[in-house]
Structure 1
């Protein structure tokens, strides 16, 4: 049985704390661009009729609902998150949506996905892989539960390549974002965000990590000057 590390438990506690204001702050701090990024990530999936999709780090179910809105009514989605507080708010959102009945929520970490081998046609994870402490294990688990020919699409913050834009971005990320976040929620959580992004591997290195975990045809697409990146990997 997988046990979270001290760091993992700390991250889970932090997200439990900020869950009530999570959606508001996402829209505010990203100027609403996060919605466009999620739509683009979902557009990279190829989900058959009667397909099954796993959305890891589902949070308040934004991606799960986007998948439901853009797939056949026969497609079923499992939203998984290791933070109970996020799932509580996600379920409220599902209850208010006519798409919510197609989505089932599960409380579990990425490193120990509670589903059999070859269960899903596609997997998504948006802004969650950097919070997975054992990333290599998480990627191997994702590959394990994918069906042959299935696809994983990972959306994550990254570091802009342009030196000039990177300076402006870092000023906002390191100074303004924690201040604004602290007005509405826990400041330390929005200090953690830039810290976790800055320590995340480069686009090339993370794509290589996916290949090392067993994904084939791994590639990535930078969005909005490299603020965010979509990583794509298939199962042979």
Structure 2
């Protein structure tokens, strides 16, 4: 793990076609390419999230945080924390003396998150750490809860990341995963595909002045990510129990909940 103050050097990826292809890669090559793209858009990530989700991402994250049981003197980990939205929502659920670790592999995104944490006066309760979801670097059985928000489709090895998350959780701890998924209605799937593959890349590129292809990669990564039922299977195969999910916005996103 690295502190957020440590810097990384990254270069931009090639083009839109490459960005779409990255969604089917696995391992280190995918990881490095994804990190280059997120570094490029870190400064406008929050703005674009709000514009491209019509503000719904705030509601989705609040619903996710409410799925975490309150714990006195609790410890929570938000994996792929990005700009720390979800980590900040977790903080009050860990009690007056609780702690939250916001971890992300991307330095630029975490730096944006650290600004929010500091502005809210919560630097003593929310710690930003640079860490890889597949190799978190924490001891076994230390977190009461682990969350992820729009992170898991970006990891190089999903099964490994899920196993690593379970490893660092206390027995009886709760894992809550917010991720884009498969809309439940055919008409909504068609509309969502048009939005994702046509309108979203155009809007995202215009607003962010992005040339990395990240807004081509994002919808492609959603398409290749396991749907609601398949993600349940992956969680069970990793050893989680009491696995369930809740669809939001017609299944555009889903919250998966699992116990260790």
Q: Could you state the TM-score of these two structures normalised by the residue count of structure 1?
A: 0.96
2:170 paired with 1:147: yes
Instruction: Report what 2:219 is aligned to.
Output: 194
CA–CA distance in structure 1, aligned partners of residues 128 and 169 of structure 2: 18
1:47 to partner: Cα distance: 3.4
Distance 2:73 2:94 in 1: 10
Alignment match, 2:79? 56
SS in structure 1 at match of 2:141? coil
Runs of 4+ in 1 over 4 A off after TM superposition: none
Task: State which of 236, 241, 249 in structure 2 corresponds to 1:211.
Answer: 236
Cα contact 2:184–2:251 (8 A) shared by 1: yes
Q: Helix, strand or coil for the counterpart of 1:41? A: helix
Unmatched runs of 5 consecutive residues or more in structure 1: none
Kept in 2, the 8 Å contact 1:53–1:122? The answer is yes
Aligned length: 233
1:72 is aligned to 2:95: yes
Native 8 Å contact 2:71 2:93 kept in 1: no
Residues 1:51 and 1:71: Cα distance change in structure 2 (over 3 Å)? closer
Q: Matched residues in 1 for 2:68 and 2:94: separation?
A: 10
- Which residue of structure 2 aligns with residue 156 of structure 1? 179
Give me the whole-angstrom Cα distance separating, in 1, the residues matched to 2:174 and 2:80. 17
Offset of residue 74 of structure 1: 1.2
Q: Distance in 1 between matches of 2:195 and 2:62?
A: 24
Determine if contact 2:142/2:168 at 8 Å carries over to the other structure.
yes
Residue deviations 1:12-42 (CA, integer Å, cap 9, x gap): 1111111000000000000110011101111
1:18–1:27 CA distance, 2 compared to 1 (3 A): same
Identify the residue that residue 9 of structure 2 maps to in structure 1. Answer: none
Secondary structure of 1:231's aligned partner: strand
Q: Distance in 2 between matches of 1:68 and 1:41?
A: 13
Q: Which structure ranks higher in relative contact order (CA pairs < 8 Å, sequence separation ≥ 6)?
A: 2
Query: In structure 1, how many angstroms separate the alpha carbons of the residues matched to 2:219 and 2:81?
Result: 20
Aligned position for 2:190:
167
Query: More deviation in 180-189 or 22-31?
Result: 180-189
CA root-mean-square deviation? 1.3
TM-score, with normalisation over the residues of structure 2? Answer: 0.87
8 Å Cα contact 1:47/1:121 also seen in 2: no
Show the counterpart of 1:98.
121
User: 1:64/1:225 Cα in 2 relative to 1: closer, same or farther (>3 Å)?
Assistant: same
Counterpart of 2:137?
114
